[in-house]
Copies of this chain bind each other. A is one copy, B any other.
Amino acid sequence: MEELKKFGLKATLPRLRILQLLETNNQHHMSAEDVYKALLDVGKDIGLATIYRVLTQFEAAGLVIRHHFDDNSSVFELNAGHHHDHLLCIKCGKVIEFVDDVIEEHQRTIAKQHGFKITNHYLYIYGVCSTCYDKRNIT
């Protein structure tokens, strides 16, 4: 909880609560709105503006990663230290995390060939998961 101090951020209640929520929530990917509602549900009324500010600071501190999935809003996930990519179901919203060393290696090679210093990279594979696919003709 005190990793906040490493980044010169005071350990305030809103920050601690948001961090704790991200650490314990079983859906790792949350929008600012999701965080807001989840905290409200637990009786913690933290302003949405503060949530945006805190998440943005967390992102700058490297505690959190911001993604721009297909819709026009941002989702945040705790930076667990190990980079991973995402496989997303467009029907049910399921998110699967994965790592493929060969893909990682090829990305580095491509960046090098073009003279780029990589800062970060995102791979999103969208599709329909087996559960949703099986249901396709049922309803």
Contact = CB atoms under 8 A, between A and B. Distances in A.
The quantity of this chain's copies bound in the complex is 2
A103 interface: yes
A119 interface: yes
A20 interface: no
Contact of A119 (B111, B121, B126): B126
A89 B120 CA distance: 11
Interface in A32-77: 68-70, 72, 74
Interface of A: 68-70, 72, 74, 87, 89-90, 96, 98, 100, 102-103, 106-107, 110-111, 114-130, 133
11 contacts: A68-B72, A72-B72, A89-B116, A100-B106, A103-B107, A116-B129, A118-B126, A119-B127, A120-B126, A122-B122, A122-B123
